[in-house]
Structure 1
Amino acid sequence: MPLQTSPDSPAPLRDVVNGVRGWVERLGRVWIEAQVVELKAYRAMTFLTLRDPLADVSVTATVDNVVLNRNGPVQPASQVVAELRPYLHTRAADLRFECSDLRPSGEGRLLARLEQLRQRLQAEGLFGVDRKRALPFLPRAIGLITAAGSAAERDVVENSRRRWPSAVFVTRNVPVQGSGAAAEVIAAVQHLDRRAEVEVIIIARGGGSLEDLLPFSDEGLLRAVAAARTPVVSAIGHETDTPLLDHAADLRASTPTDAARQVLPDAREEAARLEQVRARLHRAIDTMISTERRHLDQLRSRPALADPLYGFELRHDQVAALRQRARRAIDQRLRHDATELEHQLARVRAMSPKATLERGYAIIADARGATVSSVGQATVGEELSVRLRDGELAVQVRGSEERR
């Protein structure tokens, strides 16, 4: 029943707010379809801003984080269906919504499924950085998988040949949209991977809707690319398009044109770089030659090389000085030895028998030549020889007298 009020009989504000709350709560839980505009996450709860896709109407709802992630992560701009319970916060008379269930719908449901696949394959390590293979600097041949006569094919080939005119392509034209596209792309990858001359594979197509690009998020294709021995470049759509092939490939190119820049060097840039290296090499050689020339000039300026006889003259003076020192040493040694010899001779002469004889003494010897130094050694009648300073005498013993 509506409230009966007048200026003379106004209703309390609390009754009005409680009445509005009752009208709102009678609505109960309702399912709505909306687009997620913004998410503000807190510890256990997230505030969602939901907007009607066809009208300028938006509300803010609170949702438990468990409910939010129950059916896969929700991203801004995704379409969802949500179960909301409206209620009125009585203190501020603020209309609020509580979300008890949240599910992706339409494109949002598709994105959630792709996200679940991405998380599963990532957990397997299929997207690991350690699995990525480096691209060759200049591949002998480039495998190209794309639609026949497509703008993507034209962009890759033309931009590649602008960068490197002699680039060689082995092209496999396949459908890039529809239910059978993924199988065709898988077969093309496996075929090119077996070609020995193909050193890199580019998978390219232009932009499109999420549904159009679904073949490039096919699990079979992702596993085939990860198993290939040849490095694979993903060049699908535009910068904002991110099929799961971007994660499985060894390199992601933002566009087909960018794939040409990533795979091939620019011939003009390489020529300019080569000229820079050549110029640096020439400067290094010139510097080395100048350094060695200065070193040689320094060597040539030294006295030993400026005057070849300088060393001989220097050694001649040294030899002359050594000769003089040797002569002085020899003379000194000879004088010392001569003095020593004179002393020894004087000692020998002083002790010799001749010196004794010259002092008036005589040496007496018997017939056998033995020296007679005692009276007792001679007998009467024995002939003896007496050696004097200037000769010998033959004598005969007539008698003897021994002194005691």
Structure 2
Amino acid sequence: MSTPNSVEAPLSVSKVSQDIKDWIAKLGQVWVEGQVTQIRIRSGFQKTFITLRDVNEDYSIAITCPSNMIKALMPDINDGDRVVVFGRPNFYANRGTLSLEITDIRPVGLGELLARIEVLKKMFTAEGLFDADRKVALPFLPQNIGLITGKESAAERDILENTTKRWPGVRFTVKNTAVQGPTTVAEVIRALAELQADPTVDVIVIARGGGSVEDLLPFSDETLIRAVADCRIPVVSAIGHEPDSPLLDLVADVRASTPTDAASKIVPDFNQELAGLTKAREIARRVITQWLVRERDRLASLRARPVLATPDGFLSVRRDELHNNRRRIRVHITNELLYASAQLRSNQDKVRLLSPASTLDRGYAIVQRSDQSIVRGVDQLSTDDIVNVRVSSGSFSAIVNAIDEPAQAISEKDAS
């Protein structure tokens, strides 16, 4: 504010209020979209008072308008209607309140709402928020299920009863929120964050029991869709509206057509699992029994073979063969030794007969001249030669005194 003021010279309340009024008046006229949350139409009054709330955030503003304008433009206006208004902000200085004085009000039509949802759908598709590879598979048997739904609603009852009926031991962490109206988005996002912070929650279900397109608009809100896309825990959408699915169905990891259908998707059926386990056990028992019978018959067939009926039979044959071979080898070796011994003795006798020592033993002697040459004939000797005579028991020296010619030489001489 440009008006001078200080501790010693403060401004009055009226002055401050008037300055605020003047500043707000400069804003001019604006178009505003929101949701009607409270409307007071009193007969006999020229003014109608409406509270308009933001469709995404927890903000609201008071609206005043002529009663005849409401009767002319929107005679069936009700809480929850989406509207667009045209007016000028006005600050009532004497009461210190702000109100939007409107001169036009128009309902947001269904076609326009669906068109906006289609624009968001294309945008999210382009960003890949609906891609299949972003989907997270549900755990086979969640220990704790987070449930976001209306308090004491039919959707809550259906999910709790049907899920417990399918698997009696399942646990729930229930977060009750608004499921239509201007506070829905903020409350659902807050509940989603709380369940994500709980380490025991394995899957989150967002449920509502159907409704009109207008009632389901919060479940196509951009802020909520992005919050679900960023959720690290698998999310199941169970809104229950077949003709026009909200965008939550597309971004969720699993879509259930109804809250009852959600129960069949988040937990297995105990009786079916038990029956399947019993059947599998019977099949396993039958297969194992058949295998044991088959292997027993095969073993009996193997044992019936001669080689296994008398497993030591071939050993006996081999043992007899071994004994015979040992006997033949022993006889052969003995014969060979006897023959070799006879040959050795024969060779010894031959060597002994040919040995000079054997000749000497029979009385012969070897005569050697002084040059060690052996005397083979008398013609090699002369009278008085000294010779060495070797006999079997030793040797001695001798002097040749006379030389006798051999008898054959004398006979040949006489003949001549």
TM-score range, shorter chain: 0.5 to 0.7
What amino acid maps onto 1:132 in structure 2? K
Are residues 115 and 351 of structure 1, via their aligned partners in 2, closer, same or farther at CA, if it must alter by over 3 Å?
farther
1:344 offset after TM fit, Å? Answer: 4.5
- Offset at residue 187 of structure 1 (A): 0.9
Q: Equivalent of 1:237, from 237, 240, 246?
A: 240
| Distance in 2 of aligned mates of 1:373 and 1:190 | 139
TM-score by length of 1: 0.62
The alignment covers a number of residue pairs equal to 295
> Which residue, out of 326, 331, 335, partners 1:323?
326
Whether the aligned pair in 2 keeps the contact of 1:383 and 1:395 (CA below 8 Å) is yes
Corresponding residue to 2:215 among 202, 212, 215: 212
Matches within 5 A, 1:210-359: 210-298=213-301, 300-301=303-304, 306-307=309-310, 309-310=312-313, 312-327=315-330, 329-331=332-334, 333-334=336-337, 337=340, 341=344, 344-345=347-348, 348=351, 351-353=354-356
Of the three residues 171, 175, 179, the one matched with 1:176 is 179
Unaligned runs of 5+ in 2: 1-107, 405-416
Q: What CA distance in whole angstroms lies between the structure 1 residues aligned with 2:339 and 2:241?
A: 112
1:269 aligned partner, one-letter code? Q
Cα distance change of structure 1 residues 340 and 245 upon mapping to structure 2, 3 Å threshold: farther
Structure 2 counterpart of 1:382 = 386
Q: Which runs of no fewer than 5 residues in structure 1 stay unpaired?
A: 1-104
Deviations 1:171-196 (A, max 9, x none): 11111111221111111111111112
Partner residue, 2:125: 122
Measured at CA, do residues 398 and 245 of structure 1 come closer, stay the same or move farther in structure 2, by a change above 3 Å?
same
SS of equivalent to 1:321:
helix
The whole-number CA distance in structure 2 between the counterparts of 1:270 and 1:377 is: 135
Other structure's SS at 2:388 match: strand
Given candidates 185, 201, 223, the residue that maps to 2:204 is 201
Q: In the alignment, is the contact (CA less than 8 A) between 1:233 and 1:259 conserved in 2?
A: yes
Give the RMSD, CA atoms, in angstroms. 3.7
Partner of residue 372, structure 1: 374
Show the counterpart of 1:146: 149
SS in 2 for 1:198: coil
- Determine which of 107, 111, 126 is the counterpart of 1:108: 111
1:371 CA displacement:
6.3
Shift of 1:237: 2.0
Aligned to 1:132: 135
Q: What TM-score does the superposition give when structure 2 sets the normalisation length?
A: 0.61
State how far apart, in whole Å, the 1-side matches of 2:146 and 2:292 are: 49
Give yes or no for contact 2:363–2:391 (8 Å, CA) kept in 1.
no
**2:190 counterpart of 1:187:** yes
Contact 1:384 1:397 (C-alpha < 8 Å) held by counterparts: no
- Relative distance call for 1:240 and 1:356 in structure 2 (3 A) is farther
Partners of 1:282 and 1:382 lie apart in 2 by 121
Higher relative contact order (CA 8 A, sep 6+): 2
- Secondary structure in 1 aligned to 2:130? coil
Identity of aligned residues (%): 47
Amino acid at match of 2:313: Y
